[in-house]
Each structure stands twice: as C-alpha cells, then as structure tokens.
Structure 1
Amino acid sequence: MSPAAVALADYAREHAAVHAVRTTVFVEGQGVPVELERDALDPVSIHVLARDADGTPVGTARLTPDRRIGRMAVLPRHRGRGIGEAMLAALVAHARAQGWAEVGLHAQLHALAFYARVGFVPCGPVFTEAGIEHRRMVRRLPGASPVEDAEAAAAVLLGLAAHARRGLGIYSRALDPGLLDRREVVDALRRFATRPGRRQVRILLQDAAAPQREDAPLLALAQRLPSVFELREVADPVDARYPSAYAFNDAGGALFRPLGQRFEGEGGIEDGPAARRLAHAFEPVWERSRPCTELRALG
C-alpha cells in the first residue's frame, strides 16, 4: 500500500469524512455511544484527515482549543503504515506554530507505547472515558515533562530510543529493575539496535554483578548484539556514590532521575540542554570506568 497523505481539514466542508472514520473506529469498533462520539468542540477544533491514494479518508484526529489532541482514529486495514504518527506530527507542528508550551492527550492504555514513541509522557491516574480506561499524556514543545512513576520513565525511554540517530547513553545503578527490564523498553532498544547503519548503546553501571545474578533481559539483549551494546562499571569510588540515574540520546532527548533507586524525575525527546549536560557528565566517567568483559559472553 502507498502511504496516506495527511493534511489539515476544513471541518465545515469535510465533517462528513471526519465522522465517517470516527464512527467506524469508535462507535462500530469500540462500542462508544454515538452521542459521545461528537461534541461541541468539533466545530472549533483543528482537524486532520489522512487519505489513501484514491482519496478515501482512512484516518483523522483533532486538536482542541484547550490544547489537547484527541479522536485519533485510523481504519483497521490501514494501521501499521505510520498514519497515526503522521497525523500526530501535523497536529504537534500546528501547536508549535501557535507558540504553545505543551500539548496533551487522553490515551487509551493499550496505546500508551504508541504515544510514548512520539514524545508523550503519561501523568496522573488512570481514568475511564466513554467506558474505556485512559491516562493523560503530555509533550513539551520543547522541554522536559515531569516523570511520576516507572510507566512515565519507560515512556521517555521509548521516545529516546525511537528518536535517537546513532547513539544512546544510559547511567544506571544495576540496570534499574522495574524500568530497564520492562518488555516495552527492551523491545524499543532492540528496534534501535537493529536499525540499518551503525548504532551504539553505552551503559554505565555502578554494580555489574547484580544484573548478571538476576538474568536481566537487557543484559541478554546486549550479549546478542555485542557490536552495538557496550557495558562498563564505574571504578572510581566517587562515581560509585553518584546518587542519580539518567539516559540521553544524540538527538536532544534526555531522562534524569535525581535518585537512582526511584523512578521520579523529568524527561522528554526535546530537551537539548539536558541532553548535552548529561552527555558532558557521562563522557569522563565512561573513560575512567572498566569494560565489563565478563558480561559479554552468553550464558
């Protein structure tokens, strides 16, 4: 299939196309009551439409005046083609052009990873909307978003891996159980590591023995891809007392957690100053740390 074309829609003229897609996805596909599918925000929102090569509407989304993206819908047979990402990019670009500091959305729980890969970070509790569990997510334009828990920290890592060009750096106590062993995080790092071209993931540890004892999933991935992953353990006692944990990529994304044993902190895919600061701090510690040759062999 050829990629769909995404453009801002004239709601007054193209509302029938917008609602045809949303009715198929939400009302027929998810059982959302038809009276909840439309609301008073539709006429005052910015809408996008994705059309297939023959001009048929296959996806839609909107940006409301309260700076929230919503009604993200792609027809089932057209999913997996990057249409959702393209619609999000168009709406984020519009929000940025308006000078907005951030944009938010209410994500269905099964879609958290999708939105995380394009830079949204979950915040607040899970809630029910139209009978479906959601969580609020935000993206700074640019800047860092608060990271409240492991799910939010994992979301930032998904965004860092998705947007990294060639390199990622991770400073961790012991591969952060509860975070770096999450399946979605390991899968995101695997996707990054197996992209075409040269890739590098450097991981600095304070305790290299712990992940080996625990059979950390990320360690197993690093052993299968030794040309991409390199692990070192800090040797300087001062470095071993460093309290924080962080990650950064070479595209201006960063995650910083002041206390490495906790998940709270801040991060985002558009935080160039933090990414440069962390990279600057990482390099000298990396150079004076010892290679973890004992971790390179498959068990």
Structure 2
Amino acid sequence: MPQPVPGIERPGSFALGARQVRRIGYGAMQLAGDGVFGPPRDRDEALRVLRAAVDGGVNHIDTAQFYGPGVVNELIREELYPYPSDLAIVSKVAARRDAVGRVLPYDEPHQLRAGIEENLTTLGVDRLAAVNLRLMDGAVPDRRFDAQLAALIRAREEGLIEGVGLSNVSQRHLLRAVDQTPIVCVQNLFNVADQRSFDVLQECTDRGIAFVPFCPLGAPGPARARILASPLLTTHAARLAATPAQLALAWLLDLAPNVLLIAGTKTREHLAENLRAGRVELDDTARQELTRAGVR
C-alpha cells in the first residue's frame, strides 16, 4: 500500500456526512485547460497529480461536471477508477459551460437533477459522497432557493448522493437550509485575504458542519500571486520555516477543526508542498496577525 506523505495525518480528520475524511483534500478544478475550459495542457501530468494525491493520503476530491466541461471528471475516472473505498468524491451543480466557455446558470430543479446525473455518468459511480448546491446569485428568492434545495434532497432520498451541501451561500441561506434538511458541508470563498465568510465558518463550526474554503490560496493568477508575495505572509512563513502557500493553508486548518482543504494544483511539486502544510505549526503572533489583518 502507498504510504501517506509525512505530516498529512497531523491535522486529523473530520466528518463529511457519514464519512470521515482527512482535512487536507484535493480540488481538481485546475486539471482542466486554461480558464477551466477544455483539456489540460499536459494530460499525463494531470493524471499523475491525481494518482499522487491519492497515494499521498488524500481521500476527499472536489470536482464538478462543468469543469471542462466533463474533462476533469473524465480524468478522475480514467486514473482512479475503481475508486478506493474511502475516497469521497464531492461535486457541485447549478452551472454549465457554453460552447465558448462562459459559465451560465443551470439551476432550475430539473437542471440540478440533470447535473447530478451527468456527474454520476462521467465519474462512473452510482452515488456521490455529497453534491453542493452552488448559488450563482446571492440574492436568490427564498421560494426559489427552497425549490433548488428540494431537488438535492430528493436526489439524496433516491440514493444518488449521500449528503447535501451548499456553496457560495450567506449565513441566512445556511440557516434556512438547515431548517429543512441536514447539511454536510458548506463551500465558500475564504482565504487569508478574503475573510468575509467568517460568519458562515462560525455557524458551521457551531453546528459540526464541514466548512470547505474554495480558492484557499486566492484565485489562480494575479490574485494568488499577490497573496503569496505579501510581506505579512512571507515574513511569518520564513520565521516558521514554511512556504507562504503552506502558511496560508496551515492558517485555515488552524481556524477550526471542521475546516477541510481542497487546494488545487496542476503539478505534483505543488501538490506535495500543499500536503506538507499539515506540518506547519502556527504561533500566537502569526495566528492573530493573519486573522486580524489579512493580506492587503
């Protein structure tokens, strides 16, 4: 059996519905081509990254049918099927890509059901560990939100998914959802530079719901580069014998025990760096300054 990357076990695990997953997972979005559209530039490396993640102890992979579209799910199936028994594959619905790559809503209840079924087909499974209802519009009316949520509840009742999750939601959305059904995870934008979802994180922590920050290092490109080059992050990273990326991820792990990471990458080198974030120990100075000030 492959041996876990040293250090990955240190953060422990947390419940994702009925499953226990390691707190450092893998987000597969970047395996698609530029702009998360079309095939990867280096298909062989994309497959090697997936294999390295699982061999390194990852048992939580985040994906979506609209990554590519279909490209990322097909890569996951090609490299990892038949899947390890403990591997939790989580997807999301409510968006689609058009012929030129634009992201469009696909969030009518029947479309959400179709999105779940498309994920099952391309991944080659009968059931997903969880599917997130991703809100494309934060101002969605309550009645519409309830109808969307009901589509995922039905899919769970019919055995297509194990758990219902939410993505890109407010605290109000979360509270409305938990009044109707158990929620196994919430996936919101959150990183050291953008901490606007702190209230959602706190609500999830109080309720024992997994909180999964997307873009945990910032969006790929200039935004990420600015975060990782910030003096606040680089100074503390050097002092703690970590890379800036490792410190940014370790800060997230340190916030609460229910935080699950899904940092993504196209290369095995960066994957190994991300997995080793579990070794980084924050001190009070780094913890307080990063949380209070964020990266500017």
TM-score relative to the length of structure 2:
0.27
When Rg is computed on C-alpha atoms for both structures, the one with the higher figure is 1
Q: Which structure has greater strand proportion?
A: 1
TM-score relative to the length of structure 1:
0.26
Structure with greater contact order relative to length (CA < 8 Å, sep ≥ 6):
2
